[in-house]
Structure 1
């Protein structure tokens, strides 16, 4: 059935429509309880913000906090540091998370403590001592200097001659050499004035065994050589001794022409070797001090020493034999208290092991009181050209002795103008209290940053009569005497 279209029009009163529109276009302000349009064309009318807008700003701040918390938890869960992932794990209780946080903080505190401790040690001693992985070739290292002394202080025949025909000064000097009494108790004032150094020097040279009597046979680098070409006589704190491979005196002392010492001869060519500088680039292969040609007894020094026991009158030890010390070629040895004792009738083999302290040049920029060593150009000695700890101590003791007694011992470094102590100075140099106080200044001597020292390992065995007959015949000695 078809019906005609009917249009239905709902007509709302105009008044109600206007009222509805007006409510949509107005904000209700609780403060003034009045209606204000949310759009204002007049810019002079102030617009106030509602609490909902203020809550919108606070929401942005909370959103930032939540974002940071989310990123922090993500970092904790993905961090490889031990313990942090447990702090951000939500499945754990608060106590468990707090425990891991406390453990992590404790680990940080301990790590900081140890780091500060290591840093403090580095500040006090900024040097690192390590073993050099590179070996040093023998062509860069000198053979050690060797000083040999017979412990016999006086030959019997010479001592008996002095007792029979010697002067009163000779007898007092012999008593001083062999007695344990102080020189001040032995020498009277009138005799002590005559026993000056020149007289005492001649006495020591005459009564001590000479090097040509001590050294019977010498072989260097498998070559038989004259012992006089290898050794020099030297006055040490043990008396007259024999030295091998000590650097030329022109290379050891600053003013060698002013030295009041024995007349010495050295092999040529002499090389200016120092522990810090080593051998010069243009140094000849056979330059002195000599280098070892290889390892083993065939490339070393072989000696036959004659103790001459029959001539023993008084010794510095309770046995017969020799005192031997190996030292840096640039140093003057002190052998009385440091020498190794070798008895007669024995074969001794000495294995030498060098100990080398080498410092990098960068250490020179570190303060001396922190690195505790000196480079050669940082302290200049008065007598010695090369700075070493032993040379510094020897020179310091000489200066202390010179300040105390206005003289030095005969074995100390000196020049021609320095007076050598005689027996008249015994009361002064035997005053050990004042001398020890003077020696305290020697504590300022520091080790050299580059030093070479030698350690020896000794093995001995008694000589066999059957094996030494041939050698005794070559040396024109009987087998009994040789053994």
Structure 2
């Protein structure tokens, strides 16, 4: 079998465009349509004879029988279909799950990440010598004694009920209140820092005053105390917040050099802020001695379990002790071994849509009240906006703007219901379930919830705590030192807490590309080559036959026609 050369095939195409339209030098009236079809047919034969695609040239060869041509047409069509189906599967996998989470090749030392922020909330919300919540509860709910209470006493009781168990808040109390008055009432009766912290040690070095390490912070649990959190001006967009009260008190620290995305600079000193761990074990961590007075314990406000709530969290997050915590009971020593969990994301995932990689880089998501994007901060802001849309006010522990009112005792049940509704909305969204009850404030609130979309931050740090505890008899310790009886008050109760890294190193998780663009192209190219012998040059060949080759043939036809017309004029 002799294969036509490209030059001969080019001549055949030219003949098909010129000679088929004439008979004995004259135009055939029926030839334009036949000539066009014949030219297209000859053009396709020329392509099949010169194509690099497997099996295609057998379809256009004159020597092949009809059965052979049908066989190769079937095989070529079958290969194209199977190849297309497999490429579609590769595309779906690349489009829907382009991210793989794996462990980093090397371990990360704990000194490269910040020490966890430790937030402590005492269950005693009001000192018994200043305000007895139990006594005022019975006075408030008794019709005969309620009228004897002054308006200031009623307001104080309603304010304190905001930080007690939800069911204790009077439903007929104030719906909203002045934020600064509520905060000031809580501040006057709450234990202060020196009442809660008796002694502190950081890296086994005692501190003269715990106020050098610990600052006061306002949470949904009222006044709490935190170690190693970012300062308010670094955590919040203060220009968008109200000015009624600060969420946290500033402590004297050196300049902050850590960011969630970049970590600590390479040239930053060991002693920086937020503090970072320099090792592992109890002597390289934080130790504090907590105190409470028996006279201050109120078993009605927070129930039968007294002591402290403690939360370990990212320094760039506002703590939510109403949701997550572990307990440090009274007269107990609690040992907390911390295991960090860190997730990073490769730069190669930046071009992807956040919902495809399931995380936000810092520049991709703006929060109105927080400077630092984390999933917890986003959820807190979302809850604030949802609660305001649902109740017309927010809890004083939620970051909010100057245009938002502060809820009081009469709105506590609405706040609680809004928190449950927000979770329900997220579940229904995940199940793609529609709800026809979208009237009034509920419909507006769900529109707010739909805009939350609080994905993880592409760089995130969490701290897991392994706790153990034993009895701690502080009074026996003081008696063993033969201290005078008046040194320690009789009704004083103690708790001691150790917080430290369990190990010197940990393994970081990392998001990276499962299929990059090069991997996707290689997979598609392998399938095309396997089934069809297709390559980039094959694509260039198709493009050539549809553009440049076609243009040259038509140009050659016009040139030949003009030459024939000129010869005919000369012969005439």
| 1:307–1:320 CA contact under 8 A, matched in 2 | no
Corresponding residue of 1:410: 396
User: Alpha carbons of 1:151 and 1:428: their partners in 2 closer, same or farther (altered >3 Å)?
Assistant: closer
| SS of aligned partner of 2:201 | strand
| Structure with greater Cα Rg | 1
Q: Under a length normalisation based on structure 1, what TM-score does the superposition of the two structures give?
A: 0.68
Which one scores higher on RCO, CA 8 angstroms, separation ≥ 6? 2
Q: Is it true that 1:251 corresponds to 2:234 in the alignment?
A: yes
The separation in 1 between residues aligned to 2:257 and 2:166, in whole angstroms, is 42
User: Alpha carbons of 1:266 and 1:368: their partners in 2 closer, same or farther (altered >3 Å)?
Assistant: same
Corresponding residue of 1:234: 217
User: Alpha carbons of 1:259 and 1:279: their partners in 2 closer, same or farther (altered >3 Å)?
Assistant: farther
Q: Is it true that 1:146 corresponds to 2:146 in the alignment?
A: no
Q: Which of these residues, 222, 242, 258, is aligned with residue 273 of structure 1?
A: 258
| 2:343–2:461 CA contact under 8 A, matched in 1 | yes
The separation in 1 between residues aligned to 2:391 and 2:237, in whole angstroms, is 24
| SS of aligned partner of 1:420 | strand
User: Alpha carbons of 1:470 and 1:418: their partners in 2 closer, same or farther (altered >3 Å)?
Assistant: farther
Q: Is it true that 1:289 corresponds to 2:274 in the alignment?
A: yes
| 2:161–2:301 CA contact under 8 A, matched in 1 | no
Displacement of 1:480 in angstroms is 7.8
Corresponding residue of 1:477: 488
Q: Is it true that 1:455 corresponds to 2:438 in the alignment?
A: no
Question: Aligned ranges for residues 16-55 of structure 1 at < 5 Å?
Answer: none
Displacement of 1:148 in angstroms is 0.3
Q: Which of these residues, 103, 106, 118, is aligned with residue 134 of structure 1?
A: 106
Q: Deviations over 1:306-363 (max 9, x none)?
A: 1323311234243111000000000001101311111111111100011000111111
Corresponding residue of 2:365: 379
Displacement of 1:453 in angstroms is 0.6
The separation in 2 between residues aligned to 1:200 and 1:372, in whole angstroms, is 40
Q: Which of these residues, 290, 293, 308, is aligned with residue 308 of structure 1?
A: 293
Question: Aligned ranges for residues 66-145 of structure 1 at < 5 Å?
Answer: 120-145=92-117
Q: Under a length normalisation based on structure 2, what TM-score does the superposition of the two structures give?
A: 0.58
Question: Aligned ranges for residues 347-362 of structure 1 at < 5 Å?
Answer: 347-362=333-348
Q: Deviations over 1:208-258 (max 9, x none)?
A: 222210011100011111211111111111111001100122221233695
Displacement of 1:408 in angstroms is 2.6
The separation in 1 between residues aligned to 2:161 and 2:382, in whole angstroms, is 30
- Which stretches in structure 1 are left out of the alignment for 5+ residues? 1-111
Aligned residues: 370
The separation in 1 between residues aligned to 2:455 and 2:288, in whole angstroms, is 35
The separation in 2 between residues aligned to 1:134 and 1:307, in whole angstroms, is 45
Displacement of 1:269 in angstroms is 1.2
Displacement of 1:197 in angstroms is 2.1
| 2:379–2:454 CA contact under 8 A, matched in 1 | yes
| 1:270–1:289 CA contact under 8 A, matched in 2 | no
The separation in 1 between residues aligned to 2:116 and 2:387, in whole angstroms, is 29
The separation in 2 between residues aligned to 1:348 and 1:205, in whole angstroms, is 28
| SS of aligned partner of 2:464 | strand
| 2:115–2:276 CA contact under 8 A, matched in 1 | yes
The separation in 1 between residues aligned to 2:316 and 2:488, in whole angstroms, is 36
User: Alpha carbons of 1:218 and 1:118: their partners in 2 closer, same or farther (altered >3 Å)?
Assistant: farther
Corresponding residue of 2:563: none
The separation in 1 between residues aligned to 2:221 and 2:162, in whole angstroms, is 14
The separation in 2 between residues aligned to 1:266 and 1:396, in whole angstroms, is 29
The separation in 1 between residues aligned to 2:481 and 2:393, in whole angstroms, is 47
| 2:166–2:413 CA contact under 8 A, matched in 1 | no
| 1:196–1:424 CA contact under 8 A, matched in 2 | no
| 1:196–1:423 CA contact under 8 A, matched in 2 | no
Displacement of 1:482 in angstroms is 4.6
Displacement of 1:443 in angstroms is 5.1
For the aligned residue pairs, the C-alpha RMSD in angstroms reads 3.4
Displacement of 1:123 in angstroms is 3.4
Q: Deviations over 1:261-313 (max 9, x none)?
A: 33612232121422211123453432211111211111100010113233112
Once the two structures are overlaid, the 10-residue window that deviates more, 445-454 or 282-291, is: 282-291
Displacement of 1:120 in angstroms is 4.3
| 2:241–2:402 CA contact under 8 A, matched in 1 | yes
User: Alpha carbons of 1:238 and 1:257: their partners in 2 closer, same or farther (altered >3 Å)?
Assistant: same
User: Alpha carbons of 1:375 and 1:470: their partners in 2 closer, same or farther (altered >3 Å)?
Assistant: farther
| 1:271–1:279 CA contact under 8 A, matched in 2 | no
User: Alpha carbons of 1:343 and 1:426: their partners in 2 closer, same or farther (altered >3 Å)?
Assistant: closer
Corresponding residue of 2:356: 370
